[in-house]
Amino acid sequence: MNPVRIGLLGLGTVGSGTVNVLARNGAEIARRAGREIRVVHAAARDRRPCPVEGIRLTTDPFEVVDDPQVEVVVELIGGQDPARRLVLRAIENGKHVVTANKALIAAHGNEIFAAARNRGVIVAFEAAVAGGIPIIKTIREGLAANRIEWLAGIINGTGNFILTEMRDRGREFADVLAEAQRLGYAEADPSFDVQGIDAAHKLTILAAIAFGIPLQYDKVYTEGIAGMTRSDVCYAEELGYRIKHLGIARRTDRGVELRVHPTLIPERRLIANVDGVMNAILVKGDAVGSTMYYGAGAGSEPTASAVVADIVDVVRMLTADPNNRVPHLAFQPDQLSDVPILPMQEVETAYYLRMQARDELGVLADVTRILADVGISIEAMIQKEPAADSNVVSVILLTHRVLERNMNKAIAQIEALDSINGEVMRIRVEQLNQDWK
């Protein structure tokens, strides 16, 4: 049987890793796929060390998607444009597509999947979320018997590395970010990582597959980690928690929560102990209970592992009836739900609050009165001693669960007190236990 011919867009970190994995494990992969898989055409501005013998090279990616010999286009250039035009052109040409591009899928996936269905081709995107962790396939196929109740994940390794270093080494955010850039974990412009945009792209995809809803990136509440301080990390530890930057998708009676933000979670939870650049995703299904998936969320060969697995799946399905393939978003296209996405002010969670208060009589009474007036009860409190020659103290509160809109009211009133200096630091708290519904 003839080899399946692959056209590769991009020979950067993941592209070169994909070529290397196919070259090294080609025979084993062919045994799994039933046919040899061969890269025949690749587009790149430059290339990293990888074997290119037998591969036609070009700087024009449209040459690859228009090549009649290419059966499967693997898009690894990233970004939304020209990636969107290239993928839609490949689909129009009747070619199957594999992509690792989370921004593309999150922003344009609905359009891309509709085009693929109309043309009868496959779009596979396992590598778009969590690198080498097969989380897309797990939710879409392995947990197909379950009603997914919620998922929560560390899905950006750069942010996790920064928070780990701040905790373990007592370093400040800016210092660790600079090291992450030196090590290649963060880009020269780290905004996608530290502002939560990368995680929001990935959460959009996970939520669509988990709940059978359209991709809705514009409705994800997104908050980054740039405001985290060493003090907050230490106070969280003192209270028995660790701070992780989580993507959370949760089904409620009122709608679906989609949110990315720093979160305090109990230090005894497994996911609280996922450190460095590693990723982990918790998924709660009604039948299976809580499950966790852990591994490398980025990198050349971990991500290439997911890319090649998608290629193998495409090869296996080349002769399958297009009407009987696994749906792109797990649910049949005409069965996607229009359940609303809750605005953040309608989300209920517990809170960590830190404020700088004057060390004088009645300040805490004023704060607790404001909280009580909007129905917020306090679970724990820490008051630190003032520094020498200062009458300002750090006050840290943990609250019970409350609607965000009520917390917004309370914080506005607390910040208006003459006895409170500056803004109140707010970090959400989640237990992530079996009872969370």
User: What number is the average pLDDT over the span 138-142?
Assistant: 97
Whether the upstream peptide bond of residue 82 has omega within 30° of 0, thus cis, is yes
Task: Say whether pLDDT at 360 is over 90.
Answer: no
pLDDT tens per residue across span 25-47: 999 999 999 999 999 999 998 76
Lowest mean pLDDT among 44-48, 287-291, 431-435: 44-48
- 185 phi and psi angles, rounded to 5 deg: -75, -30
Residue 57 bridge partners (DSSP): 42
CATH of domain 4-132+300-335: 3.40.50.720
Secondary structure (3-state) at 140:
helix
pLDDT tens per residue across span 167-212: 999 999 999 999 999 988 888 899 999 999 999 999 999 999 999 9
Catalytic residue numbers read: 202
Name which CATH class applies to 348-429: alpha beta
User: What number is the average pLDDT over the span 108-128?
Assistant: 97
Task: Say whether pLDDT at 22 is over 70.
Answer: yes
pTM: 0.95
Task: Say whether pLDDT at 324 is over 80.
Answer: no
Q: Could you tell me if 113 and 123 are in contact, meaning their C-beta atoms sit under 8 angstroms apart?
A: yes
Cα R_g (the chain), whole angstroms: 24
User: What number is the average pLDDT over the span 313-339?
Assistant: 86
Secondary structure (3-state) at 116:
helix
Question: CA angle, 121 as apex, 118 and 122 as ends, to 5°?
Answer: 120
Task: Say whether pLDDT at 48 is over 70.
Answer: no
pLDDT tens per residue across span 370-417: 999 999 999 999 998 887 778 899 999 999 999 999 999 999 999 999
Residues of the chain with CATH 3.40.50.720: 4-132+300-335
CATH fit for domain 136-296, picks 3.30.360.10, 3.40.1180.10, 3.40.50.720, 3.40.950.10: 3.30.360.10
How far is the C-alpha of 228 from the C-alpha of 102, rounded, in Å?
Answer: 26
Residues of the chain with CATH 3.30.360.10: 136-296
Q: Which two tokens stand for residue 417?
A: 């007190």
Q: Could you tell me if 148 and 285 are in contact, meaning their C-beta atoms sit under 8 angstroms apart?
A: yes
pLDDT of residue 51: 77
- CB environment 23-59: b (16+ within 10 A), e (fewer): eeeeeebbeebeebbebbbbbbeebeebebeebbeee
Task: Say whether pLDDT at 49 is over 70.
Answer: no
Lowest mean pLDDT among 127-141, 326-340, 411-425: 326-340
Residues of the chain with CATH 3.30.70.260: 348-429
Whether the upstream peptide bond of residue 340 has omega within 30° of 0, thus cis, is no
From 431, 94, 140, select the one nearest 290 (Cα to Cα): 431
